[in-house]
Protein backbone atom coordinates (compact mmCIF):
# COMPACT_ATOMS: atom_id res chain seq x y z
CA UNK A 1 0.00 0.00 0.00
CA UNK A 2 1.13 3.51 -0.73
CA UNK A 3 2.06 5.83 2.12
CA UNK A 4 2.22 9.60 2.08
CA UNK A 5 4.48 11.40 4.55
CA UNK A 6 4.30 15.03 5.56
CA UNK A 7 7.07 15.59 8.05
CA UNK A 8 6.22 19.16 9.03
CA UNK A 9 3.34 19.36 11.52
CA UNK A 10 3.36 23.16 11.39
CA UNK A 11 4.98 25.88 9.31
CA UNK A 12 4.90 29.59 10.04
CA UNK A 13 5.33 32.29 7.40
CA UNK A 14 5.04 36.05 7.32
CA UNK A 15 2.70 37.77 4.95
CA UNK A 16 4.20 38.27 1.47
CA UNK A 17 6.89 35.68 2.16
CA UNK A 18 7.29 32.20 0.69
CA UNK A 19 6.83 28.88 2.43
CA UNK A 20 7.49 25.37 1.16
CA UNK A 21 5.64 22.31 2.42
CA UNK A 22 7.23 18.91 1.97
CA UNK A 23 5.57 15.67 0.94
CA UNK A 24 7.11 12.32 0.15
CA UNK A 25 5.36 9.14 -0.88
CA UNK A 26 6.14 5.51 -1.23
CA UNK A 27 4.94 3.64 -4.30
CA UNK A 28 6.08 1.01 -6.77
CA UNK A 29 3.80 2.36 -9.48
CA UNK A 30 4.86 4.54 -12.37
CA UNK A 31 1.53 6.19 -13.10
CA UNK A 32 -0.34 8.08 -10.42
CA UNK A 33 -1.76 11.44 -9.43
CA UNK A 34 -0.70 13.75 -6.63
CA UNK A 35 -2.73 16.48 -4.98
CA UNK A 36 -2.44 19.27 -2.48
CA UNK A 37 -5.62 20.13 -0.58
CA UNK A 38 -6.24 23.05 1.73
CA UNK A 39 -8.59 22.71 4.70
CA UNK A 40 -9.40 25.95 6.53
CA UNK A 41 -11.26 25.98 9.87
CA UNK A 42 -14.53 25.74 7.92
CA UNK A 43 -13.53 22.08 7.23
CA UNK A 44 -14.14 22.53 3.51
CA UNK A 45 -11.47 20.68 1.53
CA UNK A 46 -10.24 22.83 -1.34
CA UNK A 47 -8.08 21.53 -4.18
CA UNK A 48 -4.95 23.65 -4.42
CA UNK A 49 -3.06 21.89 -7.17
CA UNK A 50 -2.87 18.57 -8.99
CA UNK A 51 0.02 16.81 -10.73
CA UNK A 52 -0.03 13.85 -13.08
CA UNK A 53 3.05 11.66 -12.64
CA UNK A 54 3.57 11.25 -16.39
CA UNK A 55 3.96 15.01 -16.78
CA UNK A 56 7.48 16.24 -16.18
CA UNK A 57 6.42 19.87 -16.01
CA UNK A 58 5.64 21.08 -12.52
CA UNK A 59 2.06 22.26 -12.02
CA UNK A 60 1.37 25.85 -11.05
CA UNK A 61 -1.77 27.67 -9.98
CA UNK A 62 -1.27 31.38 -9.44
CA UNK A 63 0.80 31.71 -6.22
CA UNK A 64 0.98 27.95 -5.71
CA UNK A 65 3.52 25.75 -7.41
CA UNK A 66 4.92 22.29 -6.89
CA UNK A 67 8.36 20.76 -7.18
CA UNK A 68 7.69 17.23 -8.39
CA UNK A 69 10.72 14.95 -8.20
CA UNK A 70 9.51 11.57 -9.43
CA UNK A 71 12.71 9.64 -8.84
CA UNK A 72 12.94 10.96 -5.31
CA UNK A 73 9.18 10.47 -4.77
CA UNK A 74 8.88 14.01 -3.56
CA UNK A 75 6.07 16.49 -4.13
CA UNK A 76 6.59 19.79 -2.34
CA UNK A 77 4.24 22.77 -2.42
CA UNK A 78 5.49 26.34 -2.57
CA UNK A 79 3.21 29.17 -1.53
CA UNK A 80 4.51 32.50 -2.77
CA UNK A 81 3.47 35.95 -1.55
CA UNK A 82 1.65 34.37 1.40
CA UNK A 83 -1.66 35.90 2.43
CA UNK A 84 -3.63 35.67 5.67
CA UNK A 85 -6.22 33.61 3.80
CA UNK A 86 -3.62 30.92 3.16
CA UNK A 87 -3.70 29.93 6.82
CA UNK A 88 -5.08 26.39 6.91
CA UNK A 89 -4.18 22.73 7.17
CA UNK A 90 -2.61 21.46 3.97
CA UNK A 91 -2.82 17.81 2.97
CA UNK A 92 -0.82 15.99 0.35
CA UNK A 93 -2.67 13.10 -1.31
CA UNK A 94 -1.87 10.25 -3.68
CA UNK A 95 -4.08 8.38 -6.11
CA UNK A 96 -3.01 5.33 -8.10
CA UNK A 97 -3.83 5.57 -11.80
CA UNK A 98 -4.72 1.88 -11.79
CA UNK A 99 -7.14 2.11 -8.88
CA UNK A 100 -10.56 2.09 -10.52
CA UNK A 101 -12.16 3.07 -7.24
CA UNK A 102 -10.22 6.31 -7.18
CA UNK A 103 -9.28 6.18 -3.51
CA UNK A 104 -7.06 8.94 -2.16
CA UNK A 105 -4.29 8.35 0.39
CA UNK A 106 -3.71 11.41 2.54
CA UNK A 107 -0.68 12.54 4.46
CA UNK A 108 -0.86 13.68 8.08
CA UNK A 109 -1.15 17.33 7.13
CA UNK A 110 0.84 20.52 7.73
CA UNK A 111 -0.70 23.45 9.57
CA UNK A 112 0.28 26.73 7.91
CA UNK A 113 0.25 29.79 10.14
CA UNK A 114 0.49 33.20 8.46
CA UNK A 115 1.63 36.13 10.59
CA UNK A 116 1.09 39.80 9.66
CA UNK B 1 -17.05 21.00 -10.38
CA UNK B 2 -19.78 19.28 -8.35
CA UNK B 3 -21.14 20.69 -5.11
CA UNK B 4 -21.99 18.48 -2.12
CA UNK B 5 -24.57 19.32 0.50
CA UNK B 6 -23.81 17.39 3.69
CA UNK B 7 -26.28 17.22 6.56
CA UNK B 8 -26.32 17.62 9.47
CA UNK B 9 -23.36 19.93 9.98
CA UNK B 10 -23.17 18.96 13.63
CA UNK B 11 -25.02 16.89 16.18
CA UNK B 12 -24.82 15.81 19.79
CA UNK B 13 -26.10 12.29 20.33
CA UNK B 14 -26.68 9.96 23.24
CA UNK B 15 -24.57 6.82 23.45
CA UNK B 16 -26.31 3.75 22.09
CA UNK B 17 -28.26 5.68 19.47
CA UNK B 18 -27.62 5.99 15.72
CA UNK B 19 -27.10 8.97 13.44
CA UNK B 20 -27.51 9.06 9.67
CA UNK B 21 -25.47 11.56 7.69
CA UNK B 22 -26.61 12.51 4.20
CA UNK B 23 -24.64 13.76 1.21
CA UNK B 24 -26.42 15.13 -1.85
CA UNK B 25 -24.39 16.01 -4.94
CA UNK B 26 -25.67 18.47 -7.52
CA UNK B 27 -24.52 16.29 -10.41
CA UNK B 28 -23.92 12.62 -11.11
CA UNK B 29 -20.69 11.20 -9.76
CA UNK B 30 -18.98 7.85 -9.91
CA UNK B 31 -17.67 6.92 -6.49
CA UNK B 32 -18.54 8.43 -3.15
CA UNK B 33 -16.23 8.16 -0.19
CA UNK B 34 -16.78 8.46 3.55
CA UNK B 35 -14.00 9.64 5.85
CA UNK B 36 -13.50 10.16 9.55
CA UNK B 37 -11.30 12.98 10.75
CA UNK B 38 -10.24 13.89 14.27
CA UNK B 39 -9.71 17.65 14.70
CA UNK B 40 -6.24 18.62 13.54
CA UNK B 41 -5.56 15.22 12.05
CA UNK B 42 -5.71 13.56 8.66
CA UNK B 43 -8.62 11.90 6.90
CA UNK B 44 -9.17 8.19 7.42
CA UNK B 45 -11.18 6.42 4.76
CA UNK B 46 -14.11 4.45 6.14
CA UNK B 47 -15.58 3.08 2.92
CA UNK B 48 -16.13 3.58 -0.79
CA UNK B 49 -19.67 3.57 -2.16
CA UNK B 50 -20.49 2.64 -5.73
CA UNK B 51 -24.03 3.05 -6.97
CA UNK B 52 -26.00 -0.18 -7.02
CA UNK B 53 -23.53 -2.29 -5.06
CA UNK B 54 -22.51 -2.81 -1.47
CA UNK B 55 -19.94 -0.39 -0.09
CA UNK B 56 -16.34 -1.51 0.28
CA UNK B 57 -14.97 -0.99 3.80
CA UNK B 58 -11.41 -0.28 4.88
CA UNK B 59 -9.65 -2.31 7.51
CA UNK B 60 -11.03 -1.53 10.95
CA UNK B 61 -14.46 -0.48 9.74
CA UNK B 62 -17.44 -2.82 9.45
CA UNK B 63 -20.83 -2.60 7.82
CA UNK B 64 -22.75 -3.30 11.03
CA UNK B 65 -21.23 -0.23 12.65
CA UNK B 66 -21.18 2.05 9.58
CA UNK B 67 -23.89 0.99 7.14
CA UNK B 68 -23.80 2.98 3.92
CA UNK B 69 -26.39 3.44 1.21
CA UNK B 70 -25.85 4.65 -2.36
CA UNK B 71 -29.23 4.44 -4.07
CA UNK B 72 -28.31 6.59 -7.09
CA UNK B 73 -25.50 8.58 -8.69
CA UNK B 74 -26.10 11.74 -6.64
CA UNK B 75 -26.81 10.61 -3.08
CA UNK B 76 -25.30 8.60 -0.25
CA UNK B 77 -25.82 8.14 3.47
CA UNK B 78 -23.57 6.96 6.28
CA UNK B 79 -25.09 5.72 9.54
CA UNK B 80 -23.05 5.60 12.71
CA UNK B 81 -24.71 2.87 14.75
CA UNK B 82 -24.83 2.13 18.46
CA UNK B 83 -22.66 5.14 19.14
CA UNK B 84 -20.10 5.45 21.91
CA UNK B 85 -17.99 8.48 22.91
CA UNK B 86 -15.15 7.03 20.79
CA UNK B 87 -17.25 7.75 17.69
CA UNK B 88 -17.04 11.48 18.38
CA UNK B 89 -15.32 12.88 15.31
CA UNK B 90 -15.82 14.76 12.07
CA UNK B 91 -17.30 12.73 9.25
CA UNK B 92 -16.71 13.87 5.67
CA UNK B 93 -18.11 12.65 2.39
CA UNK B 94 -16.40 13.05 -0.96
CA UNK B 95 -17.37 12.38 -4.54
CA UNK B 96 -15.40 11.59 -7.66
CA UNK B 97 -16.77 13.06 -10.86
CA UNK B 98 -16.95 11.52 -14.29
CA UNK B 99 -14.65 12.73 -17.02
CA UNK B 100 -11.65 10.50 -17.60
CA UNK B 101 -8.43 12.36 -16.89
CA UNK B 102 -10.32 15.56 -16.23
CA UNK B 103 -11.95 14.16 -13.10
CA UNK B 104 -12.22 16.02 -9.87
CA UNK B 105 -12.91 15.27 -6.25
CA UNK B 106 -15.44 17.25 -4.29
CA UNK B 107 -15.87 17.24 -0.53
CA UNK B 108 -18.76 17.94 1.76
CA UNK B 109 -18.30 20.41 4.60
CA UNK B 110 -18.34 17.68 7.22
CA UNK B 111 -20.48 16.59 10.16
CA UNK B 112 -19.12 17.21 13.64
CA UNK B 113 -20.47 14.43 15.84
CA UNK B 114 -20.29 14.48 19.62
CA UNK B 115 -21.46 11.42 21.53
CA UNK B 116 -22.29 11.92 25.21
The CATH number that applies at residue A92 is: 2.60.40.10
CB B6 within 8 A of CB B109: yes
Percent of chain B at pLDDT exceeding 70: 96
Residue A10 phi/psi, 5-degree rounding, is -150, 140
DSSP class of B58: P
**Which residues of chain B neighbour A104 with C-beta distances below 8 Å?**
33, 45, 94, 105
Range of the domain at B85: 4-115
Range of the domain at A13: 3-115
Rounded CA-CA distance B84/A21 in Å is 36
Q: What is the mean pLDDT of residues A57-74?
A: 95
**A109 with B56: Cβ contact below 8 A:** no
pLDDT for the residue B25: 95
| The total number of structural domains that make up chain A | 1
**B41 with A108: Cβ contact below 8 A:** yes
The CATH number that applies at residue B92 is: 2.60.40.10
Instruction: State whether residue A55 is helix, strand or coil.
Output: coil
Contacts of A27 (CB under 8 A, 6+ apart): A2, A73, A94, A96
The region that residue B51 occupies, defined by phi over 0 for left and psi between -120 and 50 for alpha, beta otherwise, is beta
Q: What is the mean pLDDT of residues B54-82?
A: 96
| B26-38 tens-digit pLDDT | 999 999 999 999 9
Amino acid sequence: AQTVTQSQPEMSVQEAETVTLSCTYDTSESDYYLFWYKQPPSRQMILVIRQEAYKQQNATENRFSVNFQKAAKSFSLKISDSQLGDAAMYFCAYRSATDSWGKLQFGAGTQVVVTP
Amino acid sequence: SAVISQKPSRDICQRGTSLTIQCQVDSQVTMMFWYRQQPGQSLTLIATANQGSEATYESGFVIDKFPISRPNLTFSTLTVSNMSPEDSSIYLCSALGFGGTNYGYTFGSGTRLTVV
